[in-house]
Amino acid sequence: MTIKSPAFEQNQSIPVLYTCEGDDINPSLVFSDIPENTKSLALIMSDPDAPRGTFTHWLIWNISPELTEIEENEWPEGAEQGLNDGGSLGYMGPCPGQGIHHYHFTLYALSKKLDVNSNIKKEGLEREIETCLIEKAELMGLYRRQN
């Protein structure tokens, strides 16, 4: 299973457009080689370099396994989103204070749909994912504030 983005390569800089210094919209993400027995996909975007510990930027689950792309500034029909650590629903782009931060987009192939509340936090979602995980893949991008 793979996750890629046409906006940036693995271990390369995330364009400003997708950050707090730009339009703060999600980049396009492309999936391939989804395992055959997958019933749903989940995605977590997080920054482990945040000063107070890992900062969650995006939680999204119950993505159709037939989907091959989350388009820029969109979330898939039927998928559910949770609260990011900024307290809002949906995507929150990179906005590091100091230095270069690493942003992990982790895609999970699951053996069932998840029945969780939209106010779930990353740790709770990860516990649910662990009960039905088939495979996972990761895309990592970098960002350092321009100003």
Other beta carbons within 10 Å of 56: 20
Provide the CA 24 distance to its chain's centre, in angstroms.
14
The pLDDT assigned to 146 comes to: 85
pLDDT at 59: 97
Look at residue 108 in the predicted model and tell me its pLDDT: 98
Block means of pLDDT (10 residues each) for the chain, 147 residues, are 98 97 97 97 97 95 96 94 93 94 98 94 95 98 91
pLDDT for 147 equals: 74
C-alpha to C-alpha distance for 72 and 18, rounded to whole angstroms: 9
Q: What is the pLDDT of residue 3?
A: 98
Q: Which long-range contacts (CB under 8 A, 24 or more apart) does 13-17 make?
A: 13/141, 13/142, 13/143, 13/144, 14/93, 14/94, 14/103, 14/141, 14/142, 14/143, 16/146
**Residue 75, pLDDT score:** 87
* pTM for this entry: 0.96
| Per-residue pLDDT, 67 | 94
**According to the model, what pLDDT value does residue 97 have?**
87
- Show the domains of the chain with their CATH numbers: 2-143 (3.90.280.10)
